[in-house]
Structure 1
Amino acid sequence: MSLKQYLTSRVFALQVLAAIAILFVLGYLFMHWLTFTTDHGHEITVPDLRKLSETQVEEKLDQLDLDYVILDSVDYVKDYPKHSVVTQDPLPGTKVKEDRKIYVKINSSGFTSVRMPDLIEKTYRQAVPTLEALGLVVGKITYKPYLGKDMVLEMRLDGKKIKPGDKIWKSSKIDLVLGDGKVGFEESEENLDSINAAPSSDEPKDE
């Protein structure tokens, strides 16, 4: 049988169909195997773990075949219970695969203290980033007569004057008393007015 006759024969056609069928079956089986091994189509919604204790987190994630890792503790956040989850990654509502690790950060047991920096005679622009870097909050701003405008004259906490080096809790609101920049000009004007009003020693005296 010539090659041309073989290629046009029924035997060749059946062999081609059989090969196609085998490839189709193998492809079908491979896709099912791939779906099984990658757990395709079976995703888990990450729950909201915030404000839960570590025990509650473990119980909740075990039910969903998920795991967790504590990355670190954060400075005390008063709106969250002590030792509860403050942040998590992935975020709540994210779709993940089975056995995915959820990374969490835990609220510390209480506020940490810092030493009050020396802001006296620093400008307001210098004071703000210094306070924020220490986890403190800028509170009420008041002014009093002073030559240096926006220069820090006093630091107060809950109405009480505090000094550089005093220990205070993080997240405290620090009220600042600043100079209004007017006293120098007012004094200069008053001095000038008094000089103009005074009689000159060079003027002749009435006899």
Structure 2
Amino acid sequence: MKSSEFIMKFKSWYLWGNILAMIAVVIALIFGVRYGLDLYTHHGEAIEIPNMKHMKYADALHILNDKGLEMEVSDTGYVKNLPADCILEQSPAPGTKVKSGHIIYVTINSNHSPTLTLPDIIDNSSLREAMAKLTAMGFKLGNPEFVTGEKDWVYGVLVKGKHVVVGERISIEDSLVIQVGNGMRSAEDDINYIDPVEQPFETEESDVDEFDVVTSPEPTPTDPKSETPQKPANP
């Protein structure tokens, strides 16, 4: 290609038009990404989270939706003096500024008290061991009830006056009464000693051994004719 032809193509409006179009596309991409990200991330937007503690769940949800925020229950708790479905805790904390669409996690009050499973302590542990285990699990304990049995040994558990078994679920609001031995033996466990039967004294007659007298047979007499003659002695 001659230099004059190259210069003529370089001066062509078609070439410059393509170059300008590419520059415009690049500029549009730069501004689009910049302002698009700001729009997507709500740059500069700040919504203050209201205090929803002890508020009914439905009321709090309505307030957050009006502000463009969302709410999700993350956990449940139990406070006896508060109504069910009221909010106990929230995260983020009240007053925190967030962007629209942010999720607020809340803990709501349950309509019934939580329950715990009774561990294997009946006839398997001492009073001290049972109390330590139950207290660590969160059970409420009443005064022990002493029953007849081995001292400090757990024989049963009562809830509201009724016996409960291992594995049964019990409300944390209920008090457990541990039945523990008082160290006294039950009458059923007493050993009954029986005096031996006395044998009557033996009399003199009983000392005599009774036996049959056995006599030997008498010798049979020998026939003189059948006797063997004696040999004469040598002179």
Aligned partner of 1:101: which letter? I
The one-letter code of the counterpart of 1:137 is F
The match for 2:139 is: 137
Q: Does the aligned pair in 1 maintain the 2:135–2:141 contact within 8 Å? A: no
TM-score by length of 2: 0.46
Of residues 102, 105, 110, the one that matches 2:104 is 102
1:17-96 equivalences in 2 (<5 Å): 34-70=37-73, 74=76, 76-88=78-90, 90-93=91-94, 94-96=96-98
The answer to whether residue 177 in structure 2 is matched with residue 175 in structure 1 is yes
Cα deviation, residue 143, structure 1: 7.2
Distance 2:57 2:36 in 1: 37
> What runs of 5+ residues in structure 2 fail to find an aligned partner?
1-28, 185-235
**Residues 102 and 167 of structure 1: CA distance in aligned 2, closer, same or farther (over 3 Å):** closer
Question: Which residue identity lines up with residue 84 of structure 2 in the other structure?
Answer: K
Give the CA RMSD over aligned residues: 5.1
- The 3-state SS of whatever aligns with 1:62 is helix
Partner of 2:21: none
Which amino acid is 1:162 matched to?
Answer: K
- Superposed, 1:161-200 pairs within 5 Å as 161-165=161-165, 169-179=171-181, 183=183
In 1: Cα distance, 2:163 partner to 2:136 partner: 14
Contact 1:69/1:102, CA 8 A, preserved across alignment: yes
Code of the aligned partner of 2:47: I
Q: Distance in 1 between matches of 2:33 and 2:77?
A: 51
Q: Give the number of the structure with larger relative contact order, counting CA–CA contacts within 8 Å between residues 6 or more apart.
A: 1
Q: Provide the rounded CA distance (Å) in 2 between the counterparts of 1:109 and 1:143.
A: 32
Q: Report the secondary structure of 2:55's partner residue.
A: coil
CA contact (8 A) 1:154 1:161 kept: no
SS of 2:173 mapped into structure 1: coil
Specify the SS of the correspondent of 2:142: strand
Q: CA 1:102–1:123 in structure 2 vs 1: closer, same or farther (change >3 Å)?
A: same
Q: 2:77–2:107: 8 Å Cα contact kept in structure 1?
A: no
Give the Cα–Cα distance (whole angstroms) in 1 for the partners of residues 34 and 176 of structure 2: 64
More helix by proportion, 1 or 2? 1
The one-letter code of the counterpart of 2:164 is P
- Bigger strand fraction: 1
| 1:129-158 per-position Cα deviation (integer Å, ceiling 9, x unaligned) | 5993xxx62323547585354x3244344x
- Paired residue secondary structure (2:104): strand
Give the structure 2 partner of residue 122 of structure 1: 124
Contact 1:116–1:163 at 8 Å: present in 2 too? no
The 2-side partners of 1:31 and 1:113 are apart by: 54
Native 8 Å contact 1:114 1:169 kept in 2: yes
Task: Determine helix, strand or coil for the equivalent of 1:42.
Answer: coil
1:61 partner SS: helix
Three-state SS of the structure 2 residue aligned to 1:174 is strand
Gaps of at least 5 residues in structure 1 are 1-25, 185-207
User: 1:27 and 1:57 mapped to 2: Cα distance?
Assistant: 41
